[in-house]
Amino acid sequence: MTQTIRFQLDGMTCASCVARAERVLSAQDGVTAAHVNLGTESAEVSFDAPASAEGMAAALARAGYPVRQRQVILAVEGMTCASCTGRVERVLRAQPGVAEATANLVTRAATVTLWGDTDAGTLAQAVTRAGFQAAPMAESGGHDPKAEEARLWRDAAIASALTLPVFVAEMGGHLVPGFHHWLHGLIATQSLWLAEFLLVTLVLIWPGARFFRKGIPALFRAAPDMNSLVALGAGAAWGWSALVTFAPGLIPSASRAVYFEAAAVIVTLILFGRSLEARARGRAGAAIARLVALQPKTALRLAPAPQEVPIAALVAGDRVQVRPGERVPVDGIVIEGQSALDESMLTGEPLPVAKGPGDGLTGGTVNGTGGLVMEVRAVGAATVLSRIIAMVAEAQGGKLPVQALVDRITLWFVPVVMKRNRYWPRTSQNGET
């Protein structure tokens, strides 16, 4: 199948460069057409296997025309386990022009490195077709992690309240001898099973519905995830128990046992686990939010006339007034004035640090009782505070090598378990299912 990809190239200076880049691309096995444009510094290539974007980029780099890479970040909702992150990564890597893709379960985001000019919206659509909700980070619609955590804790509490009577009724005899005899003397077995059926059905169709809404469609897409495993496990236990309750004649007498408590406990424990996970994600996001809050929104620029402006409007060389008690807006040096600054956000040192003309100032630190005039030296992503925020976000979104190994293992865990338990079709040696 013929694919087309567009590269942005560096090092293009003349028509000779165009000709050479086209020759390099055309020499790659599988390339059917290559057109290089000097004006846009781009190359459009049509290719089939065995040609690949990585191979063409490497060949261009050796020829002196390296391909520019860029990163886009997608907000991805619906990921619940390592199988989900692995599937998102596979979908993204299969898109033309994608060099690398990493999905992170904690931050609910996917970082994509692109060879070409593939549109972020196209990537988001591909992920959405795979069963997730994706959008470029700037268009993600303001997902509220606190509301998600509250919903999970609420569902976990409801599931626990409904599950506890069923669990006690079925398992209490293992803790208290004679409990089962007392309970069955008080309530007929059939009545007890009917009550358990009602309680567990509520668990599955109310707080547990999320597993079926996501797990069953994933199963039909031949891409089972942890939701599929929970839905099938809980559904199978509930279905067997309902059959024993309402049609016992279809079951041999020796096998007439109900497993309502298993279905309910599975859902309840997974909900508690996801609630704790949501809390951890919320704390991770709160750490970044607290850092962002250290940077003021505006600054008093002195030239050409004193004016309060957004810090995004500041450029290197501007002179800014820092009044007593204010936070320093961006990085710079003191031009006029004397004061002592609280730099504990940066150093952890509680004692103020004296500042005078020529001393450096860091954005986010707090001015003391003196007024200062500073000259801006760094703005935007170049400030110390912005770099700290970026490093924290990268650390929270990155994966340790051992975590990558775990992800690779758990990626296949669900399909293997389902295949092993006949929930997933087996494939014979001749390829028949």
- Number of other residues whose CB lies within 10 A of the CB of residue 193: 21
Burial 89-100 (b: 16+ CB within 10 A, else e): bebbeebebbbe
Average pLDDT, the chain: 83
Of 55 and 243, more confident: 243
What is the pLDDT, as a whole number, of residue 402?
A: 62
Q: What is the pLDDT of residue 342?
A: 92
Take residue 271 and report the two structure tokens written for it. Answer: 């909900």
Helices (H), 221-343: 226-246, 260-293
Tell the residue number behind the tokens 């909900």, with chain if given.
Answer: 271
Q: Are 159 and 203 in contact (CB under 8 A)?
A: yes
Q: Whole-angstrom Cα distance, residue 261 to residue 256?
A: 15
The string of pLDDT tens digits covering residues 2-35 is 778 888 888 877 878 888 888 899 998 888 888 8
- Which residue is listed with tokens 């022009």? 97
> Is-contact 101 45, C-beta < 8 A?
no
- Widest distance between CA atoms in the chain: 95
Q: Which two tokens stand for residue 362?
A: 């860091």
Q: Please report the pLDDT score of residue 410 as a whole number.
A: 60
Over residues 95-121, the mean pLDDT reads: 80
- What is the DSSP secondary structure assignment for residue 339, as one 8-state letter? E
Q: What is the pLDDT of residues 147-194, one digit of tens each?
A: 888 999 999 999 999 999 999 988 887 778 888 778 877 888 889 999
Residue 223 has pLDDT above 80, yes or no: no
pLDDT above 80 for 429:
no
Task: Give the single-character DSSP code of 221.
Answer: T
Using alpha carbons only, what angle is made at residue 65 by residues 60 and 66, rounded to the nearest 5 degrees? 75
- pLDDT tens, 243-265? 999 998 888 888 888 999 999 99
**DSSP per-residue letters across 275-298:** HHHHHHHHHHHHHHHHHHHTS-SE
For 85-139, what is the HEC assignment?
HHHHHHHHHCCCCEEEEEEECCCCEEEEEECECCCHHHHHHHHHHCCCEEEEHHH
User: Which range in 77-86, 199-208, 341-350 is most confidently predicted, on average pLDDT?
Assistant: 199-208
Beta-carbon contacts of residue 412 (< 8 Å; ≥ 6 apart): none
pLDDT in tens, 269-326: 999 988 988 887 777 677 777 777 888 889 999 988 889 999 888 999 999 999 999 9
Side-chain-side CA neighbours of residue 240 (13 Å): 15
Instruction: Name the pLDDT band for 398 (thresholds 50, 70, 90).
Output: low
